[in-house]
Structure 1
């Protein structure tokens, strides 16, 4: 299923039995209408995956590509929420233990979103030393050049540090991989449609979150390779995308790149070029056209990095809201009596804890 360092044995997404067994009589078959709904959903997923295929390897893990990937994921989660509503499944008949499991999985996704947001915030904080360095480099004072070097050192130290919240994403993703087994839903055509649609959502989610985690953690050791059967219409697009992206990430890490994220790597390359020139406070050579050009390049790269992270942060927030809304949609669809409503308070409290 995957190649993490510490693989877990596969687990069914419904270890407590078929939650749809009470929904309709045995022998349920997908009607043409249901098949049309499923095929349309999967065709949309396939198209989104094709749009994520970069035109060149240089686009992989650029902030613009990562933003597009997160936007795609958000749209897919919104689509599955719409599908749940359109199918009009009587959620009140589902096994209570499955509902708890669903809430647990969605909570894990919210945890991942929060980890990504914290990492983007941490990287954004690193832009402050860069801007301070650029401010000092606008002067011809050797004293200010020395100060600029200090700010560049602060930047490298900031971006080289590791976020413990990102490290926790590895184990969360391992757990989510264990939920990929597609359950057999024999007695409900609507249940079969939902499970097949949810499978594609889970695969896309785990893949994109795995790529982001590798990029933010600075390691490809636990980058996941998901094995998807070619019976799904979106499988060829997914396999091509996964193979290209994962291979390129591993190549970049093996090459000793400062970062696999393109904009960070660009800033670092300019800093490396600039640093020896201004180190030690200067001299007449500092006023050369070459130096001014390098400083200008650093300013442009820093601005592009800042803008890219802002856009990506907004998409991560959007994904968080999509997952949160999907939880609320499922909970609001439950037609429980007062006792069961009270039992669901725990699930709602989990969401509040994650949000705050």
Structure 2
């Protein structure tokens, strides 16, 4: 029997690690302050743009694609910030590296799971498209084949992807990573950890909404409370409240399919199925022709949304993977250089 889920604990349970970005009696160089301010202002603006304008927007593949694009931009920003800090990996504390590598592998796993669910959705779309193609023959056999394809769609939409459940433990692990390592005597390190906190908050939030939309469950929607000392705190709080409330409202209404584009297709499939049950001639039934037209339009919209979202998830996967590879290569290079230096010193001592 699985253990009952513990209520999510408020952040920061360990106190605010960012109360001061530098040791007492010292001040952060203005260049570092400017770098951090630019990053946090960009993050605040990005979070504001994600706030849905219409109630149904958040429960759609198009909003998820917008959220994934925003997440890619934030991860590119942190990469640029690290370059601007000019903080070599050899100067990173070991615990920072461990946290980064742990987070990155969890994100790669989450991307793979999301991609598998999007692939399953696309398989269902192909079944509907096949059904529409069979109806073009205007024959009894075409109707039989179309019904078979629509049956496949209904099975796909009512079944659950078991891989989605494995996201829960990954999201739990990401939540735990918000407890940042302490930074000692490093102004650049403090800036890096503060910026990384913003990246992690947005990443966890977006992934939790993805999980809700793809799994049909709100149990992993996060309620992260960000300290007011962050310039982007208000933007995130408004976004979190707006999105989470609308997602929960959508689930409470009893919608069988959460994503808007899928729901439109399913509604027309359910309308079409009984019409072709008795092999009606498509050329003689006005309702049938109208339903087919609406279904074709819905399938086209779903196809475009799935393609864009799949590209977005793949793009995020590549950003995380490349960042991880770059860090590992840098660590190996530093390790090799260190060994070579030790070897040269030993040789000099021998001479």
TM-score range, shorter-chain basis? 0.7 to 0.9
1:322 alignment partner in structure 2: 319
Q: Could you say if the C-alpha distance between residues 120 and 78 of structure 1 is closer, same or farther in structure 2, counting changes exceeding 3 Å?
A: same
Q: Distance in 2 between matches of 1:105 and 1:135?
A: 45
Asked which structure has the greater CA Rg, the reply is: 2
2:226 alignment partner in structure 1: 228
Residue 192 of structure 1 and its aligned partner are, at CA, apart by 1.2
2:293 alignment partner in structure 1: 296
Determine whether 1:237 maps to 2:235: yes
Instruction: Return the match for 2:217 from 216, 219, 238.
Output: 219
Contact (CA 8 Å) 1:27, 1:187: kept in 2 or not? no
Residue 340 of structure 1 and its aligned partner are, at CA, apart by 7.7
Q: Distance in 2 between matches of 1:279 and 1:25?
A: 75
1:139 alignment partner in structure 2: 137
Q: Distance in 2 between matches of 1:25 and 1:62?
A: 46
Q: Distance in 2 between matches of 1:340 and 1:276?
A: 73
1:5 alignment partner in structure 2: 5
Q: Could you say if the C-alpha distance between residues 49 and 9 of structure 1 is closer, same or farther in structure 2, counting changes exceeding 3 Å?
A: closer
Residue 111 of structure 1 and its aligned partner are, at CA, apart by 0.5
1:82 alignment partner in structure 2: 80
Q: Distance in 1 between matches of 2:11 and 2:100?
A: 14
1:107 alignment partner in structure 2: 105
**Secondary structure, aligned partner of 1:58:** coil
Structure 1: any 5+ residue segments left out of the alignment?
Answer: 19-23, 342-356
Q: Distance in 1 between matches of 2:293 and 2:5?
A: 43
Residue 59 of structure 1 and its aligned partner are, at CA, apart by 1.4
Q: Distance in 2 between matches of 1:11 and 1:269?
A: 41
TM-score between both structures, scaled by the size of structure 2: 0.86
2:348 alignment partner in structure 1: none
2:52 alignment partner in structure 1: 54
Instruction: List per-residue Cα deviations over 1:255-314 (Å, max 9, x = no partner).
Output: 22122111001111111222222223237x982222201101101101110111011111
Q: Could you say if the C-alpha distance between residues 244 and 298 of structure 1 is closer, same or farther in structure 2, counting changes exceeding 3 Å?
A: same
Contact (CA 8 Å) 2:128, 2:150: kept in 1 or not? yes
Q: Could you say if the C-alpha distance between residues 44 and 265 of structure 1 is closer, same or farther in structure 2, counting changes exceeding 3 Å?
A: same
Q: Could you say if the C-alpha distance between residues 37 and 91 of structure 1 is closer, same or farther in structure 2, counting changes exceeding 3 Å?
A: same
Contact (CA 8 Å) 1:8, 1:174: kept in 2 or not? no
Q: Distance in 2 between matches of 1:197 and 1:73?
A: 14
Q: Distance in 2 between matches of 1:102 and 1:140?
A: 58
1:344 alignment partner in structure 2: none
Residue 28 of structure 1 and its aligned partner are, at CA, apart by 4.9
Contact (CA 8 Å) 1:278, 1:286: kept in 2 or not? no
Q: Distance in 2 between matches of 1:94 and 1:140?
A: 68
Q: Distance in 1 between matches of 2:204 and 2:157?
A: 25
Compute the RMSD of aligned alpha carbons.
2.6
| Count of residues in Structure 1 that have an aligned counterpart in Structure 2 | 328
Q: Could you say if the C-alpha distance between residues 339 and 38 of structure 1 is closer, same or farther in structure 2, counting changes exceeding 3 Å?
A: closer
Q: Could you say if the C-alpha distance between residues 138 and 296 of structure 1 is closer, same or farther in structure 2, counting changes exceeding 3 Å?
A: same
Q: Could you say if the C-alpha distance between residues 339 and 196 of structure 1 is closer, same or farther in structure 2, counting changes exceeding 3 Å?
A: same
**Secondary structure, aligned partner of 1:86:** helix
1:273-312 equivalences in 2 (<5 Å): 273-282=271-280, 287-312=284-309
Q: Distance in 2 between matches of 1:257 and 1:90?
A: 51
Q: Could you say if the C-alpha distance between residues 339 and 5 of structure 1 is closer, same or farther in structure 2, counting changes exceeding 3 Å?
A: farther
TM-score between both structures, scaled by the size of structure 1: 0.85
Q: Distance in 2 between matches of 1:340 and 1:173?
A: 37
**Secondary structure, aligned partner of 1:230:** coil
Determine whether 1:313 maps to 2:318: no
Instruction: List per-residue Cα deviations over 1:186-217 (Å, max 9, x = no partner).
Output: 41111111111111100000000000011111
**Secondary structure, aligned partner of 2:56:** helix
Contact (CA 8 Å) 2:11, 2:224: kept in 1 or not? no
2:93 alignment partner in structure 1: 95
Instruction: List per-residue Cα deviations over 1:26-58 (Å, max 9, x = no partner).
Output: 865312111111111011011111111121112
Structure 2: any 5+ residue segments left out of the alignment?
Answer: 340-351
